[in-house]
Amino acid sequence: MRGLTFISKLARIVMSSLVMAFIVNSQLSAYQDFKFQFNPVKKWMPSKEANAYIVGGTHNLKGQHNVWIFLRDQYQHFYLQNPPVELSDDGPWEASNIVIGNGIRYAWAIEVGSEGHNRLLERVSRSDWGAIELDYLERLPGYRKLASIIIKAEELPRLTRDLTRPPKPDTSRATTEQQLLVADFETGQDPIKTGGRIQSWNHGDNIRVQTGYRKLENKEGHGNFVTFVTLTNNDGNGEGNWSGGGLVLVFKPDESGLDVSAYNYLEFDIKALEGSNLRNTRIKLENSGPNGGQRTEKPISRYSVSISSQWQTVRIPLRDFVNLSSSELNMWRRLDLRAVTKFVTISVHDANSKDTDGTLLIDNVRFVR
């Protein structure tokens, strides 16, 4: 009897294992039984939108699916593209507004459930186009990666407007309904539009800093002058100590500040001279309002910009200087948008960035709605 009981138990175990294996294999088969492919980059079409592409491919997804395109840069940051993918029942798919900036290396197609879809729509409604980490994507309900493709700049069809050279903003008036132009540096000397000035800052022994105005030989859509900041390693002096430096743009001579509470974004144009190593540059705004001494620093790379020898526009939501995380609140204070006094670039020489040197050119600092 004991032998029969043992055989019976063994049979139940074997049967359970077979059933479980069948279920798992069925789930894997259902999960993996899809096709979602990108067209080669050479087949991408310029969109009616400025600096954008229409991207497409084929699929065999059935029923309702929520598919989005994300772009990934060399720092493994992801950038949401909008609107989501349109899927046709007969096999093709299309994404109509894929904007590819410098530093982008891959395009990913991901699927999410209805809740994940709503979360991405919320980001769109907030115009939240900042960098996203992979773990954020993987936590979206219903997430799965469908496909990816390598993006090679030389394979992209040429657009009517260069991706890396945004049109120069209207500088005919210092203020308009849509923008407040603080500085276009066109005179090649102080004062700037609001009567302020530029100056340099540095701390520590590792970096020497110089600022000034630079006349452009090749204007590339810009005016006669821009401002610059040059950072030079001090031959290893003070090695191991923290050093930092950058450009300070003081908005008004008396440092009373600007009221930019009616605006949504800080924008400016930036490029580096050949041979510069300043890709980890950060930006901060300061204020003299009741909260005083705001020092939150935002890396430019978070906003889909990798500093290069081509002109690019950096666009930072002002809420990023106000809506701070709990960890940021342990270090910084929220910016008072009613009295913003300074725009500052931050380049740091420390154990993680020992080769911080080169020259940044900056133009057209403005606040926009």
Are the C-beta atoms of 70 and 132 separated by less than 8 Å? yes
pTM exceeds 0.75, yes or no: no
Report whether pLDDT(170) > 50: no
Report whether pLDDT(36) > 70: yes
Whole-number pLDDT of residue 209: 92
Are the C-beta atoms of 226 and 185 separated by less than 8 Å? yes
pLDDT tens sequence across 223-273 = 889 999 998 887 655 455 677 889 999 998 877 789 998 998 999 999 999
Report which of residues 162 and 112 the model is more confident about.
112
Question: Topology of domain 36-155, per CATH?
Answer: Immunoglobulin-like (2.60.40)
Q: How confident is the model at residue 30 (pLDDT cuts 50, 70, 90)?
A: very low
Domains 36-155 and 179-368 share a fold: no
- Bridge partners (DSSP) listed for residue 74: none
Q: How confident is the model at residue 49 (pLDDT cuts 50, 70, 90)?
A: low
Which is nearest to 366 in space by CA: 102, 101, 185?
Answer: 185
Q: How confident is the model at residue 96 (pLDDT cuts 50, 70, 90)?
A: confident
Whole-number pLDDT of residue 97: 85
Report whether pLDDT(25) > 60: no
Whole-number pLDDT of residue 349: 67
Question: Topology of domain 179-368, per CATH?
Answer: Jelly Rolls (2.60.120)
Supply the mean pLDDT for the chain: 79
Whole-number pLDDT of residue 76: 85
Whole-number pLDDT of residue 155: 82
| Stretch 132-143: mean pLDDT | 93
pLDDT tens sequence across 2-20 = 555 655 655 565 455 544 4
Q: 91: phi > 0 → left, psi -120 to 50 → alpha, else beta; which?
A: left
Whole-number pLDDT of residue 148: 94
Q: How confident is the model at residue 332 (pLDDT cuts 50, 70, 90)?
A: low
Q: What percent of the chain lies above the pLDDT cut of 70? A: 76
Report whether pLDDT(24) > 60: no
Among all chains, which residue has been given the structure tokens 């081509």? 310
Whole-number pLDDT of residue 23: 40
pLDDT tens sequence across 179-230 = 899 999 988 887 788 888 999 998 877 788 999 999 988 777 788 899 999 9
pLDDT tens sequence across 267-322 = 999 999 988 888 778 899 988 755 555 667 788 888 878 888 888 899 998 888 88
**Domain spans of the chain?**
36-155, 179-368
